[in-house]
Amino acid sequence: MERMTYLLFDAVLAVTLLTAVVYLAFFIRQNSGLRHVARILMMVSGVLQLLYIFARFSILGVIPLTNPHEAVVFFACATTWAYLTFRWRYKVKNFGAFVSLLVALLLLLAASFPTAFAPPPPVLRSLWLPAHAGLSLAAYSFFSLAFCGGLMYLLQERELKTKRFGYFFSRLPSLDALDQLNSHCLAIGFILLTMGIISGSLWLSQVYGVYWRWGEKEVSSVVIWLIYLLQLHQRFTVGWRGKRAAVMAVIGFAIIVLTLVLVVAPPGGAGIHGN
């Protein structure tokens, strides 16, 4: 069973990389047939990611969110489905090309971590932990969409500012559409992150008898929450929009990735919420 699960992850990685390649080909050639194939591959990738997570769950008996590999896979899966649900309601030109590349990079990062199965310690079997980790990573997935939108905004804004309507101008959506994308993703992500921190506090209370510990993971969560709170505050009270909001979306996501690499999954460390 474990062997089949490893093969399933190989399939996830292969299909996701193929998705990114086809989306990139569509971005270059703007062929509607390639776009159709890329969208199908993205859906297949999302389904395979869900199956992989379920396969690990069936072996471990707990939601697979207890080590760096599983956490990053869940992050990639949440980003994939956040994009698919977002696309169902909003049409953002060539957004999939950027998102598919980011998902592929996340899964390559997940592949760099040990994939071996290990029974989680009793402290990680609380139902509050998957709620906390799942909500937090789902929040990060919407912040990753805002990041992709921010990159697209900066590329498009540069073309317009220099008045050289070159390669990206015809391939990227309007600045207003990208700014609206940033606003929606930021709001949804912040709500999910707040819920994740609250559920994490409840988990700490259940396991350790306190609602808060000033460990590196707790502090990093608060730092990320404050960064996005600042973005929300500045957007809706001061009027931070456009390029400034796009730059903040990129910086915020960079801090999330840095946290994943150095805090959640430090080299030689205990891993996500390990002790």
pLDDT digits (tens, 9 = 90+) for 90-124: 778 889 999 999 999 999 999 998 888 777 777 66
Q: Does residue 89 have a pLDDT over 80?
A: no
List the one residue out of 199, 219, 248, 255 whose CA is nearest residue 65: 199
Q: For residue 100, what are its two tokens?
A: 């598919």
Judge contact between 100 and 16, C-beta under 8 A.
yes
**Cβ neighbours for 176, distance < 8 A, ≥ 6 positions apart:** none
pLDDT one-digit tens code per residue, 193-207: 999 999 988 888 887
Residue 166 covered by a domain: yes
Residue 271 covered by a domain: no
The conformational region for residue 268 under phi > 0 = left, psi -120 to 50 = alpha, else beta, is: left
Residue with tokens 């996500």: 272
Check residue 270 and give its pLDDT. 47
Give the chain's domain count. 1
pLDDT one-digit tens code per residue, 23-38: 999 998 888 899 999 9
Arithmetic mean of pLDDT, 222-237? 87
Arithmetic mean of pLDDT, 78-84? 94
| Confidence grade of residue 42 (pLDDT, cut at 50, 70, 90) | very high
Residue 133 covered by a domain: yes
Check residue 190 and give its pLDDT. 95
Mean pLDDT, the chain, integer:
86
pLDDT one-digit tens code per residue, 141-171: 999 999 999 999 999 888 887 777 667 777 8
Q: Give me the phi and psi of 63, to 5 degrees please.
A: -60, 125
Residue 275 covered by a domain: no
Report which of residues 127 and 146 the model is more confident about: 146
Report which of residues 146 and 213 the model is more confident about: 146
Arithmetic mean of pLDDT, 229-255? 86
- Domain range for 153 is 2-264
Q: Does residue 249 have a pLDDT over 50?
A: yes
Check residue 168 and give its pLDDT. 77
Q: Give me the phi and psi of 91, to 5 degrees please.
A: -105, 110
Residue 230 covered by a domain: yes
Computed on alpha carbons and rounded to an integer, the radius of gyration of the chain in Å comes to: 19
Chain centroid to Cα 39, Å, comes to 18
Residue 149 covered by a domain: yes
Q: What is the 3-state secondary structure (H, E, C) of 172-187?
A: CCCHHHHHHHHHHHHH
Query: C-alpha distances in angstroms, 57 versus 103, 112, 119, 267?
Result: 21, 20, 11, 25
Check residue 20 and give its pLDDT. 96
Say what percent of the chain tops pLDDT 70. Answer: 92
d(CA 70, CA 196): 17
Report which of residues 213 and 100 the model is more confident about: 100
Check residue 131 and give its pLDDT. 85
pLDDT one-digit tens code per residue, 54-73: 999 888 877 888 788 988 99
Backbone CA torsion sign across 247, 252, 253, 258 = positive
Q: Does residue 271 have a pLDDT over 90?
A: no
List the one residue out of 195, 106, 196 whose CA is nearest residue 145: 106
Residue 274 covered by a domain: no
Residue 225 covered by a domain: yes
d(CA 275, CA 267): 14
Judge contact between 70 and 138, C-beta under 8 A.
no
Q: Does residue 274 have a pLDDT over 70?
A: no
